[in-house]
Chain A
Amino acid sequence: MSLLVCEGLTKNFDGVKALSSFSCAVKQGEIVGLIGPNGAGKTTLFNVLTGFIPAESGTVLFRGKEIIGKPAHKITRLGIARTFQILRLIKRLTVLDNSLLCYQHQPGERLGNVFFRSRQSARHEAANREKAAALIKQYGLGDKLHDLADALSYGQQKLLSLVCCLAAGADLILLDEPVAGIAPEMIEKILDVIKGLPAQGKTVILIEHNMDAISRVCDRVIFMDAGAKVCEGSVDDVRNDPRVIEAYLD
């Protein structure tokens, strides 16, 4: 059963076709790579899937339900989380607070509960705090728990933003260049984390230019160019596809 189905997604920006009738399907437990030259529309696709940009036409079904037109925060609550090409974190909050922020069930976030159900909110907060701490330790950032996110290395920050997606309880995780611009040891670490996600019931779509990383973790690859899907298949199949070679030579 497909977790995510996109059909005919189209989006224009000032006359440039960012997405051109894009369609794809992603199965539960897959790790799908999304590759293509700069400007191919990969990040635009993520923005449309997560509700940050409206599509002009097309549908997206997540677990069989239409999510086009839903606001970004609702899509996260439905179970899709993402990272950003230009890293986003709350630098002035601690590592712990950053992932705590992402938990979806927090009675303490409702103003009424802050004043009238404070004990219940406090209990949930304490429970979430434990879960968040355990999660952070599980992924090797335990010693940075109470440090400001600003104090982490770039690679650690990228790992943290991945951990935040897990904290959000997402089943579908969209990673935008998760290993770009970081040191090799950190690349290893993050790729290991990604590889382990299907075992936890997660599905991943990741955008990357690093073909080595793609071939290491992806079950399947989709190649995009000029807003359209050019081809898809195993890493080798796509790499050797004449259309892909031609697109990169252009």
Chain B
Amino acid sequence: MDYLLHILILIGIYVILSLSLNLIAGYTGILSIAHAAFYGVGAYVAALMALKLGTPFLANVICAIILSGLLGALVGIPSLRIRDDYFVIATFAFQVITFSVLNNWVSFTSGPMGLPGIPQPRIFGLQVSSHWQFLVLVGICAILVFLAARRIVESPFGRVLKAIREDEVFALAAGKNVAAYKVLVFVIGAAMASVAGALYATYITFIDPTSFTVMESIFIISIVIIGGAGNLWGSVLGAAVLVILPEALRFVGLPSSVAANVRQIIYGALLVAFMMWRPQGFIGEYTFRKGDQG
């Protein structure tokens, strides 16, 4: 039973991650391989504050959101100057640099040894420690993020995001400050991802930089694409499928030493397969195909 709850909690965390990246990549059309950086910053801020300052969970989350949001703006700003296909490389760069900081600033982050013993959340006097309690917490956060994302995409703000995705020049000509929207969507995406990070850190109670690498970023973008870019339910579906599928392998008797590799092979293969035969993913609206514009 605990195992099932654990899977659901992980799905919840990845739902938050993929929804937030979907806003950036699926709705605004900006492919970003930097998302694990925002996730990681959120996790480390929450963990370090809890460990070193003893501040309550909600305060830590708010700080995580602010710092991650700032990093998001930092990543978003270059998108205005750098051409689309080169911008992906820039996001790679931010991802690697962030990982480097987490891994090498040993005096602050403990580097590769990680941060053990992260205190579990205490919210309004309620201690969150059992799997059930975490599921409720993660579930509430995931639902809130979903509702927020839905409100964004159904609003005029969201309409502008989609316009930017389809034809940035038209959006400019229509009087929209495209630069501001791009930076903002990065800030929002980063902020949401940091919430997932804080949840992850306090759930597993141990974090180290290896959870926040380029590979993790690629995993998250795979969820967004396979689930369906430009569709919020696609992100939910994608997270569920990509978390459950490799776990299902355990029941086939696969030793855990190879499970990690097989898991990656599965989603790598799925990514290629979907690109070949169904680039819109399961239920997506956007295929990263620049059709008629220049």
Contacts and interface: CB of A to CB of B under 8 A. Distances in A.
Interface string A26-52: 000000000000000000000000101
Nearest to A86: B294
Nearest to A104: B175
B174 interface: yes
Contacts, number: 90
Interface string A87-126: 0111111000100111010101111001100100100010
Given A88-B170, A91-B292, A125 B188 contact: no
A76 interface: yes
Interface string B147-185: 010011001110110110011011111111110000010
B173 A101 contact: no
A158 to B, nearest CB: 14
Contacts of A93: 159, 162-163, 166
A93 B176 CA distance: 16
A76 B175 contact: yes
A60 to B, nearest CB: 17
Interface centre among B151, B177, B184 (most CB of A within 10 A): B177
Contacts of A102: 174-175
Interface string B176-216: 11100000100010000000000000000000000000000
Nearest to B168: A88
A114 B188 contact: no
A168 interface: yes
Contact of B162 (A92, A114, A121, A125): A92
A92 B166 contact: yes
Interface string B271-294: 000000000000001000001111
Contacts of A72: 172-173
A114 B152 contact: yes
Nearest to A124: B156
B293 A73 contact: no
Contacts of B157: 108-111, 114
Chain B interface, >50% SS class: helix
A11 interface: no
Interface residues of A, number: 34
Nearest to A128: B156
B175 A92 contact: no
Contacts of B292: 91
B73 to A, nearest CB: 13
Given A101-B159, A108-B157, A118 B151 contact: yes
A104 B104 CA distance: 48
Given A90-B167, A106-B156, A108-B156, A114 B173 contact: no
Contacts of B294: 86
A76 B294 CA distance: 21
Contacts of A100: 156, 159
A92 B174 contact: no
A83 B76 CA distance: 29
A108 B160 CA distance: 10
Contacts of B160: 101, 109
Contact of A90 (B151, B170, B172): B170
B175 A115 contact: no
B9 to A, nearest CB: 27
A220 interface: no
Interface in A63-98: 71-73, 76-77, 81-82, 84, 86, 88-93, 97
A81 B176 CA distance: 12
A140 B169 CA distance: 26
Interface in B52-100: none
A52 B170 CA distance: 11
A238 interface: no
A164 interface: yes
Contacts of B176: 73, 101, 109
Contacts of A82: 173
A121 B159 CA distance: 14
A1 B136 CA distance: 67
Contacts of B173: 50, 52, 72-73, 76, 81-82, 84, 88
A76 B152 contact: no
A92 B285 CA distance: 9
Contacts of B170: 84, 88-90
Given A89-B167, A101-B176, 18 more contacts: A73-B172, A73-B174, A82-B173, A84-B169, A88-B167, A88-B170, A90-B167, A92-B162, A100-B159, A101-B171, A106-B156, A109-B157, A109-B159, A109-B176, A111-B152, A121-B155, A125-B156, A164-B174
Interface of A: 50, 52, 71-73, 76-77, 81-82, 84, 86, 88-93, 97, 100-102, 104, 106, 108-111, 114-115, 118, 121, 125, 164, 168
Query: Which 10 A-B pairs have CB atoms at the shortest separation, nearest pair first?
Result: A108-B156, A76-B175, A88-B170, A109-B156, A72-B172, A114-B155, A102-B174, A106-B156, A90-B166, A77-B175
